[in-house]
Amino acid sequence: MRIKTRGHPEMESSRLKELVVEDTRSCTFRVHRDAYVSREIFDLERERIFNHSWLYVGHESEVSQPGDFRTRDVAGRPLLLCRDTAGTVRVLINSCTHRGAQVCREASGNARSFQCFYHAWTYNNAGDLIGVPDAAGYAPGFRKEDFALRPPPRTVNYRGLIFASFDPAIEDFADYLAGAREYLDLILDLSETGIEVVGGEHQYSVRANWKMQVENTIDDYHVAPLHSTYLKYLEQVNGIAGPGLIGRAYDLGNGHSVMERPLPGSRPIARWEPRLGEAVKRELDALYGRLVERFGVERASRMARLDRNLVIYPNLMILDIWGTALRICWPTAPDQMDVTVWTFGPRGEAAGWRRYRHDNLVSFLGPGGLGTVDDVEAMESCQRGFRATKEVSWCQFSRGMGRPALVTDEETMRAFWRRWHRQITNGDRRRTRRSSSAARMPSRSRRAGHSIVSG
């Protein structure tokens, strides 16, 4: 089957429906490999998925002072994440309302205003148009307030995480998060002082379809065979055995999913090593005690003693493992993606702990880390294998069907593909309900009171 989407709409719909096949009776789930290689499907993804989802823009700590700004590309649009002079965090489309040039061409900085280099239209850091050369040349009805920088149709600030959507009719962010909100709060609540982005970011490209990065993030099945060198290193240096089959995976609804497991040596607060010294042990014990005071034993234990990989559909990945890393991937071609990785840490964290956190993350998740290099090679190898899609047409995601999902099962990937398939085949259906599997999930000590500021 080769997908050609230019033709009769009914034929297009019929062919798209054949991309994902799920048979619960035989416990089989498969995805046609055209989903990874087709230019037509790539174009449909931009319209039906990225134009109708909540998309991560950045964290408010990246623009901590009035006038701070960052430029970002989100779903192919140039955006400006900034904090205006009054202290309000804003997301603006980085395109002059006169002729379209980007009004800010720097990656980051601090500015009270942005002047378009083409014709010198000038905007303040709240997006208001404040300067037009020879404004008298325009008709009497010309008003500067009608030509401010445009924001995306919807934006939201969830506990410092900034999201935008280009769909004005998209469901509210809290509904969109579905069951992922609980796990996101587990990560964000770990710090008493709030979180901030550690300075710097990793940017790299991968010669593979963007969906493979999402799959890889929530695939523990590959860890033992692919990362054997890293696991041997852990055992030799720290005496930590490789991971077993302990842990669970959950479909959280709306395409979101999580893997949660007690990975040995996962987090300093959960495991003290003699080389760290007795003073560090006392500090970790005190930190865990404060977690128990704040949240109770059950929630504190989950926060401190379990690792989790969380995917917020479609392309945001939060790896709460050796620290907390946030990873996002953007498709640039059917067989190419750009990846950016940030590191989160508690505000005001001691320099020693910040260095320990940063070194651990870089050594595994950095572009040259022991984990990322393996993963990139595997994804690119798969993409090369997809050249034979005509002869070998399907990818299999059936592991674990018919039983409560283990961390090494493929339920997390099935959750992603179900939502993806609904959007690809029903591009005009913008709102989705929380999946029945997520609705059946037992409540796990939900904590109320977190506000969502949206627009």
What six digits make up the tokens of 79?
């955006």
Distance CA 321, CA 265 (A): 10
The length of the chain is 455
Distance CA 400, CA 284 (A): 37
What six digits make up the tokens of 402?
């018919």
pLDDT at res. 278? 75
Question: 412-447 burial, b for 16+ CB within 10 Å, e for fewer?
Answer: bbbbbbbbbbbbbbebeebebebbebbeebeeeeee
Distance CA 147, CA 280 (A): 56
**H or E stretch covering 23:** strand 20-23
User: Does the reported pTM lie above 0.85?
Assistant: yes
Distance CA 325, CA 365 (A): 8
Helix axes 297-305, 278-295, angle to 10 degrees: 130
**Residue of 150, 209, 180, 205 whose CA lies nearest to 419:** 180
Beta strand spans in 274-365 (E)? 307-312, 316-320, 324-333, 336-346
pLDDT at res. 444? 38
Tell me the Ramachandran region of residue 59: left when phi exceeds 0, alpha when psi lies from -120 to 50, beta otherwise: beta
Beta strand spans in 118-262 (E)? 122-124, 129-131, 154-158, 161-165, 195-197, 202-206, 248-253, 256-261
- What 3-state class would DSSP assign to 380? helix
pLDDT at res. 277? 66
Distance CA 200, CA 185 (A): 24
pLDDT at res. 437? 36
Distance CA 152, CA 379 (A): 32
What six digits make up the tokens of 149?
């920088």
Amino acid at 97: T
pLDDT at res. 273? 54
Distance CA 121, CA 98 (A): 8
Exposed (0-12), middle (13-18) or buried (19+): which is 149, by Cβ within 10 Å?
A: buried
pLDDT at res. 54? 98
Distance CA 452, CA 20 (A): 34
- Angle among Cα 243, 247, 253 to the nearest 5 degrees reads 135
Q: What is the per-residue DSSP string for 78-127? A: EEEEEE-TTS-EEEEE-S-TTT---S--SSEEE-SEEE-TTT--EEETTS
pLDDT at res. 374? 93
pLDDT at res. 190? 87
Say if CB 102 and CB 78 are below 8 A apart. yes
**Residue of 226, 229, 242 whose CA lies nearest to 377:** 226
What six digits make up the tokens of 60?
């408010």
Tokens 């090679």 locate to 377
Chunked into runs of 10 residues, the chain (455 residues) has average pLDDT values of 52 84 96 97 96 97 97 97 98 98 97 98 98 94 96 97 97 97 94 88 96 96 87 70 69 96 56 62 85 93 90 96 89 97 89 81 84 94 97 97 91 97 75 38 38 55
- Ordered by where they begin, the domains of the chain are 59-158 (2.102.10.10), 178-266+306-454 (3.90.380.10)
CA-derived radius of gyration, the chain: 23
